[in-house]
Structure 1
């Protein structure tokens, strides 16, 4: 179970480390405008993203997702929304650029985000059920109950 002492502390450390990484990466851009020098076609790709504003948007998102992870608020939402950027960073760093620095940072980012998504994946259990009854967001507390479908049906028949 993820709340067992050693596992809980390991996951918490990974969450804080990844949050600090995102906060630093986004904050460095926000405060200084720093864009790392990326060699070859990867640099052209980053320059194109910067020209159309995608790079800037990702850096602001990283900053806010870092805050979310560090404060332990909306962790699963931050991890899910960060995953497309993580996969993009992994692909660019590992297969397109593939310099020693990038060969470390791309897999590291994918590992951190992937492990944390796995650690919090129990909350995604409903996505794996073949059939679900409608459930409004404001009734989401019922999804955590084992018999929420029966509860909804019972309330509907009143």
Structure 2
């Protein structure tokens, strides 16, 4: 069943799935949702879409300069939790505005508190390099979080 392979949910409006269809879906762990109210269907479609679509860059934070993935986290004495990251593209600069995404949900927007390469505090890290990052008021980062760095001088409303 194609829905099983693609982890899809089957949605029906003003219809009822036949028993053989329900049994096949159950065997393949495919969820079937049926609706008689179109607004309920639309609410669920919106909710499902939000889990699959990454939000666009936030212009209020500035100009997007780079992205990084959190590879793992470390507990460092006075600093607290630090993210070990790999910069995927662009550049991450000290003092950048930061947005952290977990899947497609924004879990943090704030400031980059510290940027380190090995044990040295650095001004910037370029694509392909690994680094350590600490964030202002945020300690719950996890492996596979996506970090977006923004140049605050390009923030919307700075005119």
Name the TM-score, length of structure 2 as normaliser. Answer: 0.21
Query: Over alpha carbons, which structure has the higher Rg?
Result: 2
Q: Which has the higher contact order (CA 8 A, sep 6+)?
A: 2
Indicate the structure with greater helix content: 1
Structure with bigger strand share is 2
